[in-house]
Amino acid sequence: MLDANTHRWLYVIVSMLIFLKTDGYYVNITYVKNAVAKGAVCLDGSPPAYHLDRGSGAGINNWLIQLEGGGWCNNITSCLARRNNRLGSSKHMPPQLAFSGLLGHRGLFNPDFYNWNRVTIRYCDGSSFTGDVEAVDPATNLHYRGARVWRAVIEDLLENGMKNAENALLSGCSAGGLASILHCDSFRSLMPMGAKVKCLSDAGYFINVNDVSGQPHIYGYFDDVLNTHGSAKNLPASCTSHMNASMCFFPQYSAPQIKTPIFILNSAYDSWQIKNILAPGVDDPHGTWHDCKNDIKHCSPDQIQTMQGFRAEFLKALAGVGNSAQSGLFINSCYSHCQSEMQEYWLMPDSPVLDKIPIAKAVADWFYDRSPFQKIDCPYPCDSSCHNSIFGPQEQPQEHSEA
């Protein structure tokens, strides 16, 4: 007879073999060419784009909209740097995109959403789909039109069947996760009356906190993003009506006023936030945090204590959302960033869990009102189910470029 551990590992191996056979499920790109006439364009003036895999069976009138992540650009120089790659131009986007995790097409790995209409909206504006500046400088040909891109793509999807949606989930990872919060109520307003509409933010709950040198680095950065893109008028009015618009880019100030149910999936030690908000390179000139940011196991006791302080600030910033009964929370203690798009995080035998419940089940139970889910993990390093990220030299993106 095989013991329990052997059974478990056999299950893991078999599941991984099945996953490897199904991995690489690619979906073709669709360009919204009629959006150009509306000025709804990427940074370089090219048309916006999305990938749609049609639903089937019971999911034919259900829609999952995933907003792609990819950081932001906060000035002319950083926006010019994006203009000639996939984050600023649809001309440089691959013709196909792999779908997995919550976008997966197999019931075994995505039991509650696999047969929905599943969409990824490509990200090419650098403002979490909030910018709208009419003028275009002929010297740079930069178009700050993220809010127009958002509206044009949603209108195209409505014409292609989403106007009949019975269930709809707006989701996003990182900069896309922030966008899913900022556009949550407007998304619901565009859906049919009577549809169940909710939003999921994965690794998009960026907090306003000073860095290790005591500087408000991330506030200054996001303030530059908003000023560059003219984003203020496209942030939730429920927030901008009573505070500075730059503050409303942070979910801790804007999310509590949003009426549509939101699920926050985030690590309290989000690796992007640790690297770019808590210990950005510009305020760590001697590289004291370099090894720690690359692998949490290389952090000193003092650095871990500082990260515990960041966790405390994160949980405090989350309080406004967590106090709502309609909200969902899956806040674990993994050193990672984005946990819905990768199959190994979303639903596998060894996926991260809270109270033995994987992310896929927590989100689905909340969406379908089967049971509420608001769980916050114990502090690092208590969670043995974590898949902690380890970054090598080749994985060090330019600061703020990938989120």
What is the set of active-site residues?
Answer: 174, 270, 337
DSSP 242-311: TS-TTGGGSHHHHGGG--S-EEEEEETT-HHHIIIIIS-GGG-TT-TTHHHHHBGGG--HHHHHHHHHHH
**Beta 26-31 vs 49-53: how paired, if at all?**
antiparallel
Alpha carbon distance 233, 217 (integer Å): 23
Alpha carbon distance 189, 183 (integer Å): 10
Alpha carbon distance 188, 164 (integer Å): 13
Alpha carbon distance 109, 18 (integer Å): 10
SS3 160: coil
Does residue 381 have a cis peptide bond before it, meaning omega lies within 30 degrees of 0? Answer: yes
Alpha carbon distance 64, 71 (integer Å): 22
| Cross-strand bridge partners of residue 267 | 332
Classify residue 241 by burial, with Cβ atoms within 10 Å: 0-12, 13-18, 19+.
Answer: exposed
